[in-house]
Chain A
Amino acid sequence: MKAKLRFILAAGVLGLLMTGPFALTALLLFADAKEAERAAFAQFLVPRLPLGALMTLLGFIAGLALLRGLFQQYVHGLLRMAETLRLMLGANRNFRVAPEGPPEVRELGRAANDLAQQRDELLNDVDEQIRQAKASVEEEKNRLAALMSELAQGVVVCNLDGRILLYNSRARLQFTALAQGPTSMSGGALIGLGRSIFSILERGQITHSLETIQQRLARGSAEATANFITSTRSGQLLRAQMAPVLRTGAGVATAANVDSLPPNPPAWQGGDNTGSQAAPAQGGLAAASMGAPLEVTGYVLTIENITRNFEREAERDQALQLLTDGNRAALANIRAAVETLIDTPDMEADYRERFTRVIADESAAMTERLEATMNRFADALKTRWPLEDVLGVDILAAAARRIEDRLQLLIKNEDQDTSLWVRVDSFALIQAITFLASRLQEHYSIRELRLRLVAEGKMVFVDLIWSGKVVSSETLYAWELEPMSVGAEISPLTLRDVIDRHGGEIWYQRDKAAHNAFFRIVLPAAIMSGVQAMDPVPHVRSESRPEYYDFDLFAARDAEGSGIDPERRLTDLAYSVFDTETTGLQPSNGDEIIQMGAVRIVNNRLLRQEIFDQLVDPVIPLKPEGIPIHGITEAMLNGQPRLDVVLPAFHEFCAETVLVAHNAAFDMRFFQLKEDSLGVRFTQPVLDTLLLSAVIHPNQESHGLESIAERLGINVIGRHTALGDAFVTGEVFLKMIPLLADMGIVTLRQALDAAQKTYFARIKY
């Protein structure tokens, strides 16, 4: 009800209150009186009525004035204060109620001001805490970056899908150095945020190491890391150590609970801890001490290129072997000759001469060999093929699983000594066992294989036993020398390589009495100090290692299959934004690509370091009219690679990402024309910023890259180089994503559909 209406009502009530009782009394007296009394009463009252009415009116006016005053002070004053308070709530935090009016209202105003003051202090405090938290996150990031860049080893952090979440410059350098052929164009860019580590390292190796770590964690071992050596496609040797990134089950929940706070809770424990930071850490600690299962959410790989070390070491080994085994034979010859001479004092002269010549020849040859070996002896670092101490039965169990999985061959255990430790490269050894099993199944159709593990002295025997079928030992000799393959999986190593790497032996033997045959692999037993063998106290890893980060991406899992899911949100996808410069505008009329540039978008960020930038020799002459546009001259294209090299490299660069280009149909047409001759097919989805612009601003006349950039407020620099245009296109695309979301276009499929429907989609090159 409005204040004015209420005032009128109050005035009415006041009027009634002032006249009502009097009129009512008069009425009652009048009703009660007798006829004569009534006449006397009227006679007395009527002439005096105007005076009464005047007095009443005066009283009413005075009452009205009083009422108005009260209304002004209490009702209007409070309403004014309410407005001021509203202002303080929203638009102007620093506004205050001016204390005026009666003491009660003033007191109320002061109380409201005090409340506002308290609110402001709290808000300032929260702001300050947020600022501090942000600063500490920033500082922690900087510290991590500094730490990582100082490291002499390459560090790569991946989630369980093998997506790279973090890498340091050393890792990038290492992989760039490794990149040969096509990959070198993108500056070894196969390492990049969100990219798969499996394009660099072998998937099987990584999976195996993860399994090893999980086994160890399950056993409560303190050493939950795994080492392996792997060779890259270019034949370089990398030594990698894998350490798990752990999170306890309850820790996840705790982290999720505080996710609603503005910044992600940093878990860095150094420096000043604000309350909000301490909470998740304590939660994790409590959960860990309660024995919650440790969940591996990703892993850290430290990578070192040991190709040179290894080559040097191999040379040293060779030298050592030449010095020892190489001289055994010569020494044997000399010794036999000398002993024969001594034992036969009455030897015939010509025999004696022949024996002394043996001694002379052999000792001369030994001297020569010694010299040669010493000259070649390089002072190399001690780098050996790193073998790990593993429980023998673990290897057999893993091998059995693999064989059953790959070959569907029945595996049984026989006499497995569970206490035996061996020094092995477990991945290679399991590969070797699987390879032998697959050969036996393939060539001798065995139905069942038994695995035995026994020891003799310092040697451990791994036997693969089968019944019936006799194998010729030549067969094993042949198998030893071919690269190991199981199905489509081919290892660069031969069985002999694996055996040699372990300093082991392998042979074929028959047990006639038991009617079976077996391959025996001899391995050196591991000498266990006893401490490492079993660790009775389960270690809580999450406590012992400080956590420097809390990546959301750790939890992100890929959808099944490697294809790009069209139902994923545009903000979640990885993109390769690219552009090409060409000799002309008619791909079907023989125009060719002369430059390609691309940049990646991962997690809604344009990654300016992860680029592809390459000139291409078009083989045909440039058109003079094009040169002012793209600024590329014949001289610049001299000696550049041709498209048959560049396009496959570009294809690799774009793997598993959505392609984005301005007027993509034009570029795609070039690619399409080369598909058959170069054998490179771009099957991933393509988004076109030109079409998307038409979706967002259907009434704009121009959808040229420059106009769009201007509309979206993007500074255009370095246009008309392929990479420069790719950058602009990338920025344009990033600005478009929220605009598309406003129109309800959120997923990739929606964006593709919307683009398809626009008018421009009908233009074909």
Chain B
Amino acid sequence: MSHRVLIVDDEPNIVISLEYLIKKEGFEVAVATDGEAALQQAADFAPDLILLDVMMPKKSGFEVCQALRADPAQAAVKIIMLTARGRETEVAKGLALGADAYITKPFSTKELVLQIKSLLA
């Protein structure tokens, strides 16, 4: 059975690449474009891993992450946070709030895929 990956980002131009890449790796993919939709999808789609953008409308990635970590039903889900802001303090915040990995845009697609695979291994 293939792993499920939820992509959460409000920018279609990155979603297209991420979706294509991850599908190519043989994962099942769902997309959410804001924080609230992300929480909804997390419940409905039950992903194994979430690619979570920080800057989003409605609920920020930090809030989504914190909500997920507070929910025992979602205890197992892996979270990779993506952000377009490269400050060290933000990385620390993401990791402290329970993200498994934190990737700053722009990133290498190869490394992203490797990161996803290692987390799901």
Contact across chains for A362 and B107 when beta carbons are under 8 A apart: no
> A residues within 8 A CB of B109?
335-336, 339-340, 343
Interface size on A, residues (CB 8 A): 37
A505-B90, A505-B93, A509-B96 as given contacts; A336 in contact with B85, CB under 8 Å: no
Contact across chains for A354 and B85 when beta carbons are under 8 A apart: no
Q: Determine the distance from Cα of A332 to Cα of B109 in the docked complex, in whole angstroms.
A: 9
Q: Write out, one digit per residue, whether chain B residues 45-69 have a CB within 8 A of any chain A CB (1) or not (0).
A: 0000000000000000011001000
Q: Determine the distance from Cα of A336 to Cα of B112 in the docked complex, in whole angstroms.
A: 10
Considering the complex, which residues of chain B in the window 76-98 have a beta carbon less than 8 Å from any beta carbon of chain A?
82, 84-90, 92-93, 96-97
A355 interface residue (CB < 8 Å to B): yes
Contact across chains for A505 and B92 when beta carbons are under 8 A apart: yes
Determine the residue in chain B with the shortest Cβ distance to A326. Answer: B84
Contact across chains for A522 and B92 when beta carbons are under 8 A apart: yes
Q: Determine the distance from Cα of A458 to Cα of B91 in the docked complex, in whole angstroms.
A: 13
Contact of A328 among B17, B20, B96, B105 (CB under 8 A): B105
Q: Determine the distance from Cα of A328 to Cα of B104 in the docked complex, in whole angstroms.
A: 8
A351-B20, A459-B92, A503-B87 as given contacts; A332 in contact with B106, CB under 8 Å: yes
Q: Determine the distance from Cα of A344 to Cα of B11 in the docked complex, in whole angstroms.
A: 22
> B residues within 8 A CB of A333?
11, 13-14, 17
> B residues within 8 A CB of A473?
63, 66
Q: Determine the distance from Cα of A524 to Cα of B13 in the docked complex, in whole angstroms.
A: 34
A106 interface residue (CB < 8 Å to B): no
Considering the complex, which residues of chain B in the window 34-51 have a beta carbon less than 8 Å from any beta carbon of chain A?
none
Of A332, A334, A524, chain B has the most CB atoms within 10 Å of the CB of A332
Contact across chains for B18 and A336 when beta carbons are under 8 A apart: yes
Q: Write out, one digit per residue, whether chain A residues 347-385 have a CB within 8 A of any chain B CB (1) or not (0).
A: 000010011001001100000000000000000000000
A134 interface residue (CB < 8 Å to B): no
> A residues within 8 A CB of B66?
473
Determine the residue in chain A with the shortest Cβ distance to B104. Answer: A328
> B residues within 8 A CB of A331?
105-106
A329 interface residue (CB < 8 Å to B): yes
Q: Determine the distance from Cα of A340 to Cα of B18 in the docked complex, in whole angstroms.
A: 9
Contact of B107 among A335, A504, A520 (CB under 8 A): A335
Contact across chains for B110 and A329 when beta carbons are under 8 A apart: no
Interface residues on B, range: 20 to 34
Contact across chains for A337 and B17 when beta carbons are under 8 A apart: yes
> B residues within 8 A CB of A759?
none
Contact of B86 among A325, A456, A458 (CB under 8 A): A325
Contact across chains for B16 and A358 when beta carbons are under 8 A apart: yes
Contact across chains for B96 and A325 when beta carbons are under 8 A apart: no
> A residues within 8 A CB of B105?
328-329, 331-332
> B residues within 8 A CB of A549?
none
> B residues within 8 A CB of A335?
106-109
A325-B85, A473-B63 as given contacts; A355 in contact with B93, CB under 8 Å: no
> A residues within 8 A CB of B93?
505, 507, 522
Contact across chains for A503 and B86 when beta carbons are under 8 A apart: no
At the interface, is chain B mostly helix, strand, loop or mixed? helix
> B residues within 8 A CB of A355?
16-17, 20
Q: Determine the distance from Cα of A335 to Cα of B84 in the docked complex, in whole angstroms.
A: 14
Of B17, B96, B105, chain A has the most CB atoms within 10 Å of the CB of B17
Q: Write out, one digit per residue, whether chain B residues 94-121 have a CB within 8 A of any chain A CB (1) or not (0).
A: 0011000000111111100000000000
Give min CB distance, A160 to chain B, whole Å.
39
Contact across chains for B108 and A340 when beta carbons are under 8 A apart: no
A95 interface residue (CB < 8 Å to B): no
Q: Determine the distance from Cα of A334 to Cα of B107 in the docked complex, in whole angstroms.
A: 10
A477 interface residue (CB < 8 Å to B): yes
B21 interface residue (CB < 8 Å to A): yes
Contact across chains for A459 and B106 when beta carbons are under 8 A apart: no
Q: Determine the distance from Cα of A79 to Cα of B56 in the docked complex, in whole angstroms.
A: 112
> A residues within 8 A CB of B85?
325, 328
Of B93, B105, B107, chain A has the most CB atoms within 10 Å of the CB of B105
Contact of B17 among A340, A457, A503, A507 (CB under 8 A): A340
Q: Determine the distance from Cα of A358 to Cα of B62 in the docked complex, in whole angstroms.
A: 27
Q: Determine the distance from Cα of A339 to Cα of B108 in the docked complex, in whole angstroms.
A: 8
Contact across chains for B14 and A340 when beta carbons are under 8 A apart: no
Contact of A340 among B20, B87, B92, B104 (CB under 8 A): B20
| 10 A/B residue pairs, CB under 8 Å, sorted by A | A325-B84, A328-B106, A331-B106, A333-B11, A335-B106, A336-B109, A459-B89, A473-B63, A507-B97, A522-B92
Which residues of chain B have a CB within 8 Å of any CB of chain A? 11, 13-14, 16-18, 20-21, 24, 62-63, 66, 82, 84-90, 92-93, 96-97, 104-110
> What are the 7 A-B residue pairs with the smallest beta carbon separation, nearest first?
A336-B17, A332-B105, A332-B106, A505-B89, A328-B84, A331-B106, A333-B13
Q: A473-B66, A507-B96 are in contact. List 6 more A-B contacts (CB 8 A).
A: A332-B84, A332-B106, A361-B13, A456-B92, A473-B63, A503-B89
Which residues of chain A have a CB within 8 Å of any CB of chain B? 324-326, 328-329, 331-337, 339-340, 343-344, 351, 354-355, 358, 361-362, 456-459, 473-474, 477, 503-505, 507, 509, 520, 522, 524
